[in-house]
Amino acid sequence: MNNSTLNLLNKHFSLNPQTANILIVGLGITGFSIARYLHRHGFQFSVIDSRENPPNAEELSQLSPTIQLTAGAFQATNFTTATHLIVSPGISLQQPLIAQALQRGAILVSDVDIFACATTAPIVAITGANGKSTVTTMVGEMGKAAGKITAVGGNLGTPMLDLLADEVELYVLELSSFQLERSHVLNAAAATVLNVTADHLDRHTDMADYAAQKQKVFRGDGVMILNADDAYVSAMQTSERKNYFFSIQQFIGFHIAPRDGVEWLVNEETDFMPCADLPLEGRHNQANALAALALGTVVGLEKEAMCTALRSFVGLAHRMQKVAVKNGVTWVNDSKATNIGACIAALQGYNDKVILIAGGDGKGADMRELRVAVAQKTKAVILMGKDAPLLEQALLGIVPLYLAKYIDDAVLCAANVAKTGDTVLLSPACASLDQYKNYAERGHKFAAAVMALD
């Protein structure tokens, strides 16, 4: 850690190795990356985790046997001597002992804050309810195609503190609302909120609070990339900053326009490429590509490099991924659609009606928001998981509904309902944690069940 980083941490957070007594709350992927970074740079810290057998406990002891780890239910004594708290994104700041420690004067710091103090390379920061992993990966591929040493991570893949390296020329970070909620000094060269739709309302007070946390990605003085088609996002525009818009509904900023009868991705100055050259299906992926082009343009990536990256981008696992065609039925895995907005976006990408598999943990969202899209774009819905009853209540009378317990049962049910030429879409509109470790396990089990069909 150089003197500049130390000076910034001390200036903004009174954080220095001589006086700080840091408590890391949570030993998941993010918490352990923070522990590695602090240990490498000589900070004193301890770690707590509410799980009896936290992940990375053995790795922490290998890092240093003197690091104190407390596992199990939080106790007040864990927090009394801490001067600084670094709370993992998966843990609510409203947890009573955390809230009390902050009220007593403990200083909240995040890995985003430490990262922002530790690098002078340009940062592209991407958040939104849906599409952020796709856009993050797109911009990362654009940077590499342009010949820049590019590091990609954050909420997606590698924790951001593990990305830090002197040779990196461009950082591309996916950031969740929980990461942004506890960040203070991020100053990205280019940043975007892709959209704001109902998600994580079990942790955020309401949609206004959720949007306010997302808006924190725009701290600093960089260029703001805004979705002109989203009322929450377009309202974030400010005359004090440079703004670029992207839109799939309007001729504004980075948008879609006809060229000799063919739709192109364009902005006011540049025609980039025909929409048909994108390997990804769906209008929402055209919006993702426009956002990526805007971000790449701001940080000086060449047009041809960006278009080359988009032409070869085949998408992410568990995101509108075709699994198989069996008996004339197409099966699509969109397990990463863990909220209502993502499910609606997936449905709107189809011209013909599909058979939808949905359900899981709805995270407090109002399932009635699915009604219009389900009526327009589905011929039947198969419901599963903890909040299947809520979905059933919200969608009753719109299309035929079927109930299944697990994903395997849902696949069998869909196979019985589907006819030749149909598409079965797993796009749950819910988190997976009621039944599965994560959306990836849910997606893998869906694919396995499809492949096991006769």
Find residue 326's DSSP bridge partners: 329
Backbone angles phi, psi at 204, to 5 degrees: -100, 150
| Helices 3-13, 111-118: inter-axial angle, 10-degree rounding | 140
Q: Say which of 56, 155, 195, 285 is annotated catalytic.
A: 155
Catalytic residue at 200? Answer: yes
Cβ contacts of residue 117 below 8 Å, gap of 6+?
A: 5, 8, 9, 12, 185
| CA count, 13 A, side-chain hemisphere, 147 | 4
Cβ contacts of residue 346 below 8 Å, gap of 6+?
A: 282, 284, 320, 334, 337, 425, 427
Helix (H, G, I), strand (E, B) or coil at 400: coil
- Closest by Cα among 207, 237, 216, 210 to 225: 237
Catalytic residue at 333? Answer: no
Tokens standing for residue 330? 């197409």
Q: Say which of 84, 148, 200, 214 is annotated catalytic.
A: 200
d(CA 227, CA 246): 5
| Helices 132-145, 303-311: inter-axial angle, 10-degree rounding | 120
**69-71 β-sheet, strand order:** 69-71, 45-49, 22-25, 84-87, 107-109
Tokens standing for residue 206? 């309401």
Catalytic residue at 184? Answer: no
> 335 and 426 in contact (C-beta within 8 Å)?
yes
Q: Say which of 78, 84, 130, 132 is annotated catalytic.
A: 132
Q: Which residues belong to the active site?
A: 132, 155, 200
